[in-house]
Amino acid sequence: MELTGTILRGRTFEPVEGRVVVDDEGRIEAIEETAVESSDIVLPAFVNAHTHIGDSIAKEAGRGLSLEELVAPPDGLKHRLLRDASQAELVEAMGTPLRFMHESGTAACLDFREGDVAGVRALKEAADGTDVDALAFARGSVEAMEEGDGFGASGANDDDFEYERRATREAGKPFGIHAGEVDETDIDPALDLEPDFLVHMVHPEPDHLERVAETEVPIVVCPRSNLVTDAGLPPVEDLHERTTVALGTDNVMLNSPSMFREMEFLAKFSDLSAPDVLRAATVNGAEIADLEYGLIEPGRKARLTVLDGETPNLEGARDPVRAVVRRAGVDDVREVVTAG
């Protein structure tokens, strides 16, 4: 397989004209610089580093409710709706955002999966045949973690999670935890667990930022979600100076799982460069989950998104990386390659 156009190559996303050659095993064999007639833009497929796609059963529910009333376990609105849904209803509901993610260029999502073992199995069933790697960061029990791909803790103010952290480490799987979404009180106890990544970090104090720098723990930010729940906006520049920052879309009940929208919002409210934002949406999330894609480099799995550079939205763009980050959308997607 060959894809031609402007290729956003490597970790810097250097735009080069040419072709990407994919071998029979679905890996990138070569990136060849040469004159081509295509105006397409070829970029790595996105990795959505934090989702709750079970919330698809409650899209736009809960107007006027606080963050705690919406999502706090065990009796927030989403948890009540999840309990009331049958397994079949949950599977069908989760399939919808997964299909949308594929159509909009997302190769994988790191889903904090409610519902214990049954919830993990529901996600696997929903993802079957969708071409999206839906990784289940289980909640509820160690057994659910063993069934899934890691553990996704709600927050250190909800429980101490020492047992779950130890079991997840022994299983050789990643452990993530929400921290600093509502206030700063759960950040230190979350860091004490030595997690593989933190989610949100809207309210870090200077001492928390020092600890993040010392440990280099990756942070997943979800700015659209934080804005709509009145949590505030994360200090992404401060976080980016100290560690790896990845990007997620969070609850489907509040936001579409569009990485294009998330990138645009992050780029326009922060001072991060376009390449920094694109790394947050691709390779940074991939590395948290130890995935073999996220960059266009020889040897990587070929999980790629091809944009039509001649759509009315993209035609005439002078800087392809800025165009991808700040203006591209699902309507510009020509093809999503899942060969890898």
206 in the same domain as 257: yes
Q: 60 falls in which pLDDT band (50, 70, 90)?
A: confident
CB burial string 15-35: b at 16+ within 10 A, e below: bbebbbbbeeeebbbebeeee
Query: The domain that contains 105 carries what CATH number?
Result: 3.20.20.140
172 in the same domain as 137: yes
309 in the same domain as 202: no
231 in the same domain as 94: yes
Q: 176 falls in which pLDDT band (50, 70, 90)?
A: very high
pLDDT tens for 121-132 read: 999 999 998 999
d(CA 66, CA 166): 33
87 in the same domain as 212: yes
70 in the same domain as 110: yes
Predicted pLDDT of residue 75: 72
271 in the same domain as 173: yes
Q: What is the mean pLDDT of residues 35-42?
A: 97
d(CA 199, CA 49): 9
* 3-state secondary structure (DSSP) of residue 292: coil
66 in the same domain as 11: no
Predicted pLDDT of residue 80: 82
CA angle 281, 304, 16 (to 5 degrees): 90
d(CA 138, CA 114): 7
221 in the same domain as 321: no
Predicted pLDDT of residue 339: 80
Query: The domain that contains 17 carries what CATH number?
Result: 2.30.40.10
Residues in the chain: 340
Domain boundary residue, one of 289, 311, 329 = 289
Residue 170: partners with Cβ closer than 8 Å, 6 or more residues away: none
Contact status, residue 54 vs residue 324, Cβ threshold 8 Å: no
Residue type, 215: T
Predicted pLDDT of residue 53: 93
Q: 25 falls in which pLDDT band (50, 70, 90)?
A: very high
314 in the same domain as 180: no
Compute how many other C-beta atoms are within 10 angstroms of the C-beta atom of residue 292.
Answer: 12
Q: Please give the tally of structural domains in the chain.
A: 2
Predicted pLDDT of residue 222: 98
In eight-state DSSP terms, residue 270 is: S
256 in the same domain as 297: no
148 in the same domain as 30: no
pLDDT over 90 at 141, yes or no: yes
Contact status, residue 314 vs residue 307, Cβ threshold 8 Å: yes
Predicted pLDDT of residue 243: 98
Contact status, residue 337 vs residue 303, Cβ threshold 8 Å: yes
Contact status, residue 22 vs residue 3, Cβ threshold 8 Å: yes
d(CA 137, CA 41): 32
d(CA 8, CA 321): 8
- Domain housing 40: 2-45+293-337
This prediction has a pTM of 0.94
Predicted pLDDT of residue 35: 97
d(CA 215, CA 59): 37
d(CA 149, CA 284): 18
pLDDT tens for 217-246 read: 999 999 999 998 899 999 999 999 999 999
d(CA 256, CA 60): 10
